[in-house]
């Protein structure tokens, strides 16, 4: 199968960039390896608090893993099995979430606006990259693969929770205030934090923010969403288990689809296709 070709299961084939490849997990062993990577990053590196079962298995897993598609980045120089997995992202389409009865983010945000959204919806989550692969190559490949997935499945809107480090909102007051005043979602897709978890993002006078420095300080994942024209919801949420402050991110996929289509049109022209 050539890179970017649609596989018989409805997914794209592996996308390649040098020694790295991106594809959807197809075996239980690959999903298990993705969960092991998530545990290593979230719990061992970033200080999330495991429950007894998570600590025993050394796997970050929950019921949503059973209905999700697991996007992987693999390094072929590490082998061709589960040992090759160096990054992962969890993708949950609306029809998959309906098998559970809800999206993962419903624990933090009121998602009722999505019920009225007429298009196809995708939740993104559990993004993590092995420490040795946190340069541009792996992240760019992840976004290329997400774009391919969006195009293949006709996704109109994607959303998820993106995280800032720590659980003190005033420690990231510039970032939260900047996101609220510069990237707040339009009312029709403005997800709002649940009332009992709502943390006001307006933590300081926006006129005092050094926007250039604040953009540099934002986590790469949030910056990636913003580059795609993404918005944030109203209100942050403190996630004490994962030692993070979460914001809802919403992306209408028109721009994603357009960029992906232009990229492969250019490839076809260059190859004489």
What SS3 string covers 186-252? Answer: CHHHCCEECCCCCECCCCCCHHHCCHHHHHHHCCHHHHHHHHCCCEEEEEEEEECCCCEEEEEEEEE
Asked whether 133 and 205 are in contact (CB, 8 A), the reply is no
User: Is residue 31 in some structural domain?
Assistant: no
Averaged pLDDT, 39-46: 96
Model confidence band, residue 204 (pLDDT cutoffs 50, 70, 90) = very high
**Domain range for 189:** 89-271
User: Is residue 41 in some structural domain?
Assistant: no
Averaged pLDDT, 16-24: 95
The per-residue pLDDT for range 108-136, each reduced to its tens digit, is 999 999 988 989 999 999 999 999 999 88
User: Is residue 12 in some structural domain?
Assistant: no
User: Is residue 78 in some structural domain?
Assistant: no
Model confidence band, residue 68 (pLDDT cutoffs 50, 70, 90) = very high
User: Is residue 54 in some structural domain?
Assistant: no
User: Is residue 9 in some structural domain?
Assistant: no
The per-residue pLDDT for range 215-273, each reduced to its tens digit, is 999 998 999 899 889 999 999 999 999 999 999 999 999 867 666 556 544 544 443 44
Task: Output the pLDDT for position 211.
Answer: 95
Write the Ramachandran bin of 258: left for phi over 0, alpha for psi from -120 to 50, otherwise beta: alpha
Task: Output the pLDDT for position 243.
Answer: 94
Task: Output the pLDDT for position 1.
Answer: 36
User: Is residue 203 in some structural domain?
Assistant: yes
CATH number, position 188: 3.40.630
Into how many domains does the chain fold?
A: 1
Residues 6+ apart with CB under 8 A from 164: 172, 175, 176, 219, 222, 236, 244, 245, 246, 247
User: Is residue 145 in some structural domain?
Assistant: yes
Q: What is the pTM of this model?
A: 0.89
């Amino acid at each position: 199968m050539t890179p970017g070709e649609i596989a018989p299961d409805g997914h794209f084939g592996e996308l390649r960039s040098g020694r790295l490849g991106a594809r959807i997990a197809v075996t239980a062993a690959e999903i298990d390896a993705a969960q092991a990577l998530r545990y290593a990053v979230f719990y061992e590196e970033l200080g999330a608090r495991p429950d007894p079962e998570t600590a025993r298995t050394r796997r970050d897993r929950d019921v949503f893993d059973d209905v999700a598609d697991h996007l992987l980045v693999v390094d072929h120089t590490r082998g061709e099995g589960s040992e090759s997995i160096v990054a992962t992202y969890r993708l949950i389409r609306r029809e998959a979430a309906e098998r559970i009865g809800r999206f993962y983010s419903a624990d933090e945000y009121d998602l009722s606006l999505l019920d009225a959204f007429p298009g196809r919806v995708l939740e993104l989550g559990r993004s993590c990259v092995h420490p040795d692969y946190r340069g541009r190559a792996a992240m760019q490949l992840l976004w290329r693969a997400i774009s391919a997935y969006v195009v293949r499945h006709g996704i109109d809107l994607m959303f998820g929770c993106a995280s800032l480090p720590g659980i003190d909102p005033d420690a990231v007051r510039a970032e939260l205030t900047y996101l609220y005043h510069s990237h707040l979602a339009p009312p029709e897709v403005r997800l709002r934090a649940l009332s009992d978890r709502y943390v006001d993002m307006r933590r300081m006078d926006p006129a005092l923010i050094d926007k250039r420095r604040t953009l540099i300080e934002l986590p790469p994942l949030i910056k990636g969403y913003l580059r795609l024209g993404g918005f944030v919801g109203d209100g942050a949420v403190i996630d004490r288990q994962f030692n993070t402050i979460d914001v809802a991110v919403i992306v209408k996929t028109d721009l994603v689809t357009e960029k992906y289509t232009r990229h492969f049109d250019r490839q076809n022209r260059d190859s004489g296709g």
